[in-house]
């Protein structure tokens, strides 16, 4: 009995990806690069992070960083844009100020990478080498001052700066947490305790406004700059 003749294997034609498939692949590559960039930036700082390491972590060709973001700086700017989109989800002007601050803290504790990146930039980069960006939007604090929720005799920039420091401290000063509180900054016990303490501190601030009557009308801050 003769063995049947084997047919030569035919090479299957490769189908070109459909437009929606190309879109999904591009979105996936962008997402992988953004996640990898945040990891690298937060671990090594913006200046210390290498484009090749970001691409390797994302598992894509480093040329895609230029293609999708125009380079390392564009990648960082897109991370900032993504943060602003995330921030808009929980920064509700109708929510009490102490709850807003707690939401920022919970986000920083759940994902400390952004806070670490900002700390790296502040400590390792020359201020003169960083182009000045837009000022922080203080309109919500000014509105709360006008409504009497926050003291109107305080500079809104100082309020914002103090809140930033309080929110970032557990991430940027973990050793201080251990020395001051005697607790592990990563522990649920500390995070629950600090969250409630921060809420209480901010509530004292808002309560002092209503009891002293500083919330009515315009006032001047200690810096002499008028606040609304």
pLDDT tens digits, one per residue of 79-132:
988 888 888 787 788 899 999 999 999 999 999 999 999 898 888 877 766 666
Only one residue has tokens 């100020």, namely 97
Helix, strand, or coil here: 219?
A: strand
Q: What number is the average pLDDT over the span 131-156? A: 88
Q: What is the token pair recorded at 64?
A: 């895609």
CA distance from start to end of the chain: 100
Q: Which residues pair with 226 in a beta bridge?
A: 220
pLDDT tens digits, one per residue of 152-207:
999 999 999 999 999 999 999 999 999 999 999 999 999 999 999 999 999 998 87
Name the pTM for this structure.
Answer: 0.73
Please give the Cα distance from 170 to 79 (Å, whole number).
22
């Amino acid at each position: 009995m003769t063995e049947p003749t084997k047919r030569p294997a035919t090479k299957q034609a490769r189908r070109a990806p459909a437009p929606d498939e190309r879109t999904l692949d591009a979105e996936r590559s962008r997402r992988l690069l953004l996640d990898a960039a945040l990891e690298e930036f937060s671990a090594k700082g913006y200046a210390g992070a290498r484009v090749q390491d970001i691409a390797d972590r994302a598992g894509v060709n480093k040329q895609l960083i230029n293609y999708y973001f125009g380079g390392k700086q564009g990648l960082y700017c897109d991370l900032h844009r993504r943060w602003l989109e995330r921030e808009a989800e929980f920064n509700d002007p109708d929510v009490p100020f102490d709850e807003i601050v707690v939401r920022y803290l919970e986000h920083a504790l759940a994902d400390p990478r952004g806070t670490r990146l900002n700390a790296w930039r502040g400590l390792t980069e020359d201020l003169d080498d960083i182009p000045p960006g837009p000022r922080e939007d203080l309109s919500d604090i000014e509105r709360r001052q006008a409504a009497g929720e926050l003291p109107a005799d305080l500079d809104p920039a100082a309020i914002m700066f103090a809140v930033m420091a309080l929110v970032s401290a557990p991430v940027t000063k973990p050793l201080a947490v251990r020395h001051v509180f005697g607790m592990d900054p990563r522990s649920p016990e500390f995070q629950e305790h600090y969250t409630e303490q921060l809420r209480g501190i901010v509530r004292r601030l808002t309560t002092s406004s209503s009891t002293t009557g500083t919330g009515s009308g315009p006032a001047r801050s200690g810096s002499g700059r008028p606040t609304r």
